A and B are shown apart, each in its own frame.
Chain A
Amino acid sequence: MSTRPRKQIHLGAHFPGVNNTTVWSDPRSGSQIDFSSFEHLARRAEAAKLDFFFLAEGLRLREHKGRIHDLDVVGRPDTLPVLAALAAVTDRLGLAGTINTTFNEPWELAKQFATLDLLSEGRAAWNLVTSPDAFTGANFRRGGYLPYAERYARAAEVVEVARALWDSWDDDAVLADRITGDFLRPGAVRPVTHHGTYADVVGLFETPRGPQGHPVLFQAGDSADGREFAAATADVVFSAHSTFDAGRAFYEDVKGRLAAHGRSRDSLKILPATVVVLGDTPDEAAERAREIRLQQVSGPTAIAFLEQVWGRDLEGYDPEGPLPDVEPDTENVSITRGRVRHAKDPAAVAAAWREQAEANGWSIRELVIQVTSRGGFVGTPEQVADDIDRHVQEDASDGFILVPHLTPGGLDEVFDRVIPLLQERGSFRAEYEGTTLREHLGLARPGAASAAEDEPAAELVG
């Protein structure tokens, strides 16, 4: 190992999502809608000096077998208004929101994120996601208008336009000189013109440049196109590769793409999603992890999960019994809609699972518990702190986005018991050093385009 300085860990707090990671049947489980839940997690995350708070998004309620999926948490408030409200109850914590680039327009998004950055004094982040499926499109004017293959081409153009709009105001554009009567510095706001494939916009932007210049940009797609887009565009990748080996492979792959874009390895942070389960002893932690998995995968949830792969109704099967003997219906690929993953080759998956289940004597429910296990950190606070630090120091990640299983207090114990250990090691900040999210993440602030490069100003502000 080289003797490079200790890397600083970056951590985000993910508000529990609308999937079966979130356990709602537990008596401690609170509302996923009441603002008090968001405030709880954000305040605790800020007290623990985390980099940011994170919200996911999905623009259509998930369906299973043609009906709204009712086994997981359903419903959530709108991403950006929640983050704007959290800006009122926190001072330093970054505020990251997932927003789709297919079903939003760049001018509106640029305005919303500039506003969030101003309202939060430099704490805004945008997690760019791209899914263009027609199922989601049914809630929007143009329906499923965008071919899957073009999702990142549009995303790239949306970002390009947004950046041009943010840069169309100089940082010091607002003069508010009461004596001369100049509200805006002449020439400090310039028109933007973009005639592209996915966006065709012209005009003078309405909202001043935010304290960060541009909000921090996250990306969360895993395809080769997604990784390339991240290397070209993003400040942070939200990845699903949280185990050590997969993490290192992903890290090397994405960081290795940066040089081709003229970027340094430090300019992009890779933060996998992960879960943490603590115990006073390793055994106790393992036991709690097991209990949580049982809560996450109820019998009906296990059957519904198999149905996604089998493409057929399996309601008659006993979740505590063996796997179905019928073969998957390979034609029926869209039994579940509105979620991220689908099995690519259902027949092969079913065969492999049957073999595993038989070899280990697993029931349907146990099989689902095993195959949907996403790793995560399970152990005593010392073990978990060691593990997290090792992942970061050995380049399996630059930190993590912590996903709790309970709303809103699921990370409280991590904040109380693990963070202090990371701080003691000097791997995680004990105090915020900067005020903006870019500063927390060690990311450069993009400079503004200079007015001098543009046309004469006088007629432009008008």
Chain B
Amino acid sequence: MPDTAPARTVHLGVDLTDAGAHPAAWRTTGSQAQRLFDAKRLVELVATAQRGLLDLVTLDDAFTLRPGRTGTVRGRLDAALVASRLAPRSGGVGLVPTVTTTHTEPFHVSKAIATIDHVSAGRAGWQVGWSTTPAEAAAFGRKAAQDEPDAVAEADEAVEVVTRLWDSWEDDAEIRDVATGRFVDREKLHYVDHEGIRFAVKGPSITPRPPQGQPPVVVRADSPASFDLAARRADVVRVRAATRDEAVALRAQVRDAAADAGRDPDALRVLVDAYVVVGDTRASAQARLDLLEDLEGVSWDTDSLTHVGTARDLAVTVEEWTSAGAADGFLLRPSSLSTDLDAVVDGVVPLLQGAGLFRTAYPGTTLRDTLGLPHPANRYAAIA
């Protein structure tokens, strides 16, 4: 076996954005499109993901209305607040909102994700976002739109500040020492004193260290700049690959780049985006896709692995890709959340479990536990 072979268990996340990955998903029967902004719909979806013992759910975000026809889903809620709303009545499953770094304050981003981690008892992650659109720049009016390398460079600096702020409280900083009247040991609170190109942030955070220490950082690597960011900073790397060979090459590249950056490649989880249309038969899956394409009027143009078929076929693909070293797992993008998520949880998951490829219980309570990542040491405690 090559040393890049993944562990034999697979990680599965699911994207809960909009009504599903296909733009016409909201127009199908049962799509619950009227309830798109209703928290209870999302609570039900998370409960389904949790029933399937999935690693995590992701939520996309943006500040301005996407350009598009009246016919597509438009409008989004703040992903971080949605993740927090979903935390109290769920367990096991990780909650990973996109929070952008281009027009936001790293100080606010840091305490938002830390708080989701506190509220969920250690199940938060952060999908790092950045923005290159003139529309979003105009919504803030503080600077011009940035090109992708520049926006990613800013995201890189923001990740540095956010992760330092997470460490700015040591885990045992709160002492409640009645004898001396001291609530905290201030030697265990640290100024981050970041003086960077784009920000100067003093710290410490106002929020104590999150339960996971460092909530997992998720980066979508689909350009040279973001690939580099992912290799250096991500715990979970999302890649797009249409074929297994492409994915094998990409995963090896990510791992090599991480090693070059001085990291242990085994500390990264590379997930391939997988668009899925699942049916009882191949014909019924295809018929569902045909309907979506008819409604949309164009064929579905995806940019990564796309599965149209049965749960069994999908389980086979998952098995083949993971054993070939193409992925540590998949970030599933159901064509239609109201249909495909149940099909994955009730159809694909049991098959993978039967093959010994997927967990039968959550291994611990935190997202890092689920991803097999250790509790990280605190960078400031380490120097002390």
Contacts and interface: CB of A to CB of B under 8 A. Distances in A.
A249 interface: no
A111 B76 CA distance: 9
B47 interface: no
Contact of A75 (B64, B83, B180, B206): B206
Contacts of A189: 65, 74-75
A107 B138 CA distance: 10
B26 A119 contact: no
Contacts, number: 222
Interface stretch (B86-94, B260-268, B317-325): B86-94
A206 B75 contact: yes
A33 B118 contact: yes
Label chain A's interface by main secondary structure.
loop
A323 to B, nearest CB: 20
B38 to A, nearest CB: 8
Interface in B50-93: 62-65, 67-78, 80-89
Contacts of B119: 35, 77, 81-82, 85
A118 interface: yes
A406 B78 CA distance: 32
Interface string B168-185: 010000101010111111
A161 to B, nearest CB: 10
Contact of A184 (B70, B111, B112, B203): B70
Nearest to B27: A178
A301 B38 CA distance: 47
Given A82-B84, A84-B81, A87-B39, A105 B140 contact: yes
A103 B63 CA distance: 18
Given A183-B70, A201-B139, A299-B181, A85 B114 contact: no
Kindly state the interface size class of chain A when it binds its partner.
35 or more
A17 to B, nearest CB: 12
Interface of B: 26-29, 31, 33-34, 36-39, 43, 62-65, 67-78, 80-89, 103-105, 107-108, 111-112, 114-116, 118-119, 121, 135-136, 138-142, 169, 174, 176, 178, 180-186, 189, 198-204, 206-208, 295
Interface of A: 24-25, 33-35, 39, 58-61, 67-68, 70-78, 80-82, 84-85, 87-89, 103-105, 107-108, 111-112, 115-116, 118-119, 138-141, 143, 169, 173-174, 176, 178, 181-184, 186, 189, 199-208, 298-301, 461-462
Given A59-B107, A119-B77, A141-B198, 9 more contacts: A72-B183, A78-B115, A80-B112, A81-B80, A138-B201, A174-B75, A176-B34, A181-B295, A204-B64
9 contacts: A24-B176, A82-B115, A88-B87, A111-B63, A138-B200, A139-B105, A201-B139, A201-B141, A461-B65
